[in-house]
A = this chain, B = another copy of it.
Amino acid sequence: MSPKTIVVVEDEPIIAAAVAARLRKETFRVEVAGDGPSGVDLCNRLRPDLVVLDVMLPGFDGLEVCRRIQKERAVPVLMLTARDSETDLLVGFGVGADDYMTKPFSTRELVARVHALLRRASRAQEPNGAVIRIGEIEVDPASRRARRAGDQVHLTPLEFDLLYLLASHPDSVYTRSQLLTQVWGYNDDSSARTVDSHVVSLRKKLGAELVRTVHGVGYAVGGDG
């Protein structure tokens, strides 16, 4: 198993170095960015397993970084905040952070929380790495590719994440709200119908029978059909 990759976005060099060193000791692969834009860039290129994110940053702040990262793909985010004010916390969680720590913090606690987040994430993605098969459809999370009867089908990022979540739990019904929360990373009631559009795309590309509509509730894939 290749080492987990962690991106640290932190503008104070001393803290960044300390965090990076401590995490490398845990055999993580760690890369550091010093401002918002390069942090987003780094995340898009490395596709890390976790991001440690300071709230106060040059360029644009941690909240914006978090939003942009999460928009690309779901990844656990550990936020570092300077103040303990509750509004900061809540706003932080609003953008999709999974945990937070208030400075100053012990590196020991940081390590513990990182491990906890990674464990939670890997547990949530069960079965991880395995190719999922639903009828004539194959979904490979490692390469983010899907096949239909052996032929590769191009899926957009959202289409793939949506399919992967549904296919990971065959026959289980997901509400639009749940799908928005878990795939999109936010849950705006007004955009519930956006899910429908992507379901349409999936059906067009992979066959209308793949996704089952559960009237009044949501969608599911697989099962006996």
Contact = CB atoms under 8 A, between A and B. Distances in A.
Interface of A: 1-2, 31, 42, 44-46, 72-73, 89-90, 93-94, 99, 113, 116-117, 119-120, 128, 142-145, 152, 156-158, 169, 171-173, 175, 177-178, 181, 187, 214-217, 220, 223-224
Contact of A72 (B94, B145, B177, B220): B177
Given A44-B181, A142-B172, 11 more contacts: A2-B113, A2-B116, A2-B117, A72-B175, A72-B177, A72-B178, A142-B169, A142-B173, A145-B223, A152-B224, A157-B217
26 contacts: A1-B116, A2-B99, A2-B113, A2-B119, A2-B120, A31-B89, A44-B181, A45-B90, A45-B94, A72-B175, A73-B178, A128-B169, A128-B172, A142-B169, A142-B173, A143-B173, A143-B220, A143-B223, A144-B173, A144-B217, A145-B171, A145-B223, A152-B224, A156-B216, A157-B215, A158-B216
B44 A187 contact: yes
Contacts of A223: 143, 145
A44 B187 CA distance: 9
A42 B89 CA distance: 11
Most interface-central of A1, A89, A119 (chain B CB within 10 A): A1
Contacts of A44: 181, 187
A74 to B, nearest CB: 12
A139 to B, nearest CB: 13
